[in-house]
Amino acid sequence: MSEAEKIKDGKQTEKRKRINIKFILTILFTIAGFAAAIAANLIIPQVSEGVKIEVHQVGSIYATMNNAYIWVLIALILLYTGIGIFSIFKKERRKKYRSRAPFRFAVGIALALWDLLGTKLQALPQPFFPGPAGIIEAFLIEGDYILQNTLYSLRLFGVGFLLGIVVGVGTGILIGWFPKVYYWVSPILNITGVIPAVAWMPFALTLFPTPFSAAAFLIVICTWFPVASLTASGIKSTPKAKFEAARTLGGKTPYLVFHVAIPHAMPQIFTGIETANAFSFTTLVMAEMMGQPGGLGYYINASKVWSAYYKVFAAIVVMAVLFSLITWVVGLVKSRVLRWQRGLLK
């Protein structure tokens, strides 16, 4: 290796070291907010006497709500530290991690203030706004029951959402391809689409044998409309030049539909699915509040009756996590199916 190459290699090594040091500082900044929340919980005494610090048994582990709260904060610190270490070796990951560091720091500080106002001082209106430790206590008291209701919601959402996608895509293809189907079905789609799905609840409970099937029907309806509308739009917007090229190569109608029109409509189909995801989740919770024997909406209603608002917040936290996970899964599927767009879209 020549002297010039050695100097160049030394400069690159020094540059990488500076980048790594800066990124390590970014990781420390990210977790500093959560560390501050732990310190605030441990150092600041419990001023308000309206809070009972009880010991709960979870399996073979005994913990108070403050212990569980600190464990959650430690888990977040370990999680974001692990993500930071994983991101340090790739420029795009470092950039993404660095852009989110201020928000994560702010979340930690917000948790510290929330713990102070909601638990330590109880300066917020009680029992409507419990602190984060109080919300976590709901999982210590009846974690199994929350899990049971979460699985019920997932099962109901999965059945309704997947059926709604299948029916919506099928309807959209028929509307977009066949003018006669468009003539008869499009008005029905436009009329029913503007009616909130929950408005059909009395009829669904009458027509279907069980509350579960009635609620699944409501989710199917609110999924069907945006998926069918955008699928039909995507089919209709397929350029005629593509059909002509396919016909020149001997393509028949099934080939034109499944190999030309549907692939062209895929971006709009996924836009409809993403839109339907939010509508369906909202309908899920409202349907569970209006007559289901289980689910997170049912759990919120039952907790509200006893003014156990810390349990209501616990269910809301689970809903937020579930919706984020479902959105993430839909995004993964979209990224996989539309991978050809990566070189076209920024």
Mean pLDDT of the region 13-22: 66
Give Cα separations from 10 to 2, 14, 181, 285 (angstroms): 12, 6, 70, 60
250: left (phi over 0), alpha (psi -120 to 50) or beta: left
Tokens representing 342 are 């990566």
CB distance 177 to 261 below 8 Å = yes
Q: Output 273 or 200, whichever has higher pLDDT.
A: 273
Amino acid letter, residue 152 = Y
The pLDDT tens digits for 328-342 are 999 999 988 887 766
Burial class (CB in 10 A: 0-12, 13-18, 19+), 263: middle
> In sequence order, what are the beta bridge partners of 63?
56
Peptide bond into 267 cis (omega under 30): no
One-character DSSP codes across 46-109? ---TT-----EEETTEEE-HHHHHHHHHHHHHHHHHHHHHHHTT-HHHHHHHHHHHHHHHHHHH
Burial class (CB in 10 A: 0-12, 13-18, 19+), 152: buried
Predicted TM-score (pTM) of this structure:
0.85
Q: Which residue has the tokens 């732990």?
A: 38
Residue from 293, 248, 61, 63 nearest 155 by CA: 293
User: Longest C-alpha distance within the chain, in Å?
Assistant: 86
Name the band, by pLDDT with cuts 50, 70 and 90, for residue 171: very high
Give the C-alpha separation, 250 to 274, whole Å. Answer: 35
Give Cα separations from 34 to 37, 135, 248 (angstroms): 5, 17, 63
The pLDDT tens digits for 175-224 are 998 889 888 888 888 887 778 877 888 888 888 888 899 999 999 999 99
Q: How many CB atoms lie within 10 A of CB 314?
A: 26
What is the sign, positive or negative, of the torsion defined by CA atoms of 244, 248, 253, 259?
negative
Give Cα separations from 145 to 115, 268, 281, 297, 308 (angstroms): 25, 39, 20, 13, 15
The pLDDT tens digits for 80-126 are 999 998 888 888 888 899 999 999 999 999 999 999 999 999 888 88
Q: How many CB atoms lie within 10 A of CB 333?
A: 12
Domains of the chain: 15-124 (no CATH), 143-341 (1.10.3720.10)
Residue 316 makes CB contacts below 8 A (sequence gap 6+) with 300
- The DSSP symbol for 272 reads H
CB distance 217 to 199 below 8 Å = no
Q: Does position 346 have pLDDT exceeding 50, yes or no?
A: no
Q: What pLDDT is recorded for position 250?
A: 83
Q: Output 238 or 32, whichever has higher pLDDT.
A: 32
Q: Output 52 or 142, whichever has higher pLDDT.
A: 142
Give the C-alpha separation, 238 to 225, whole Å. Answer: 20
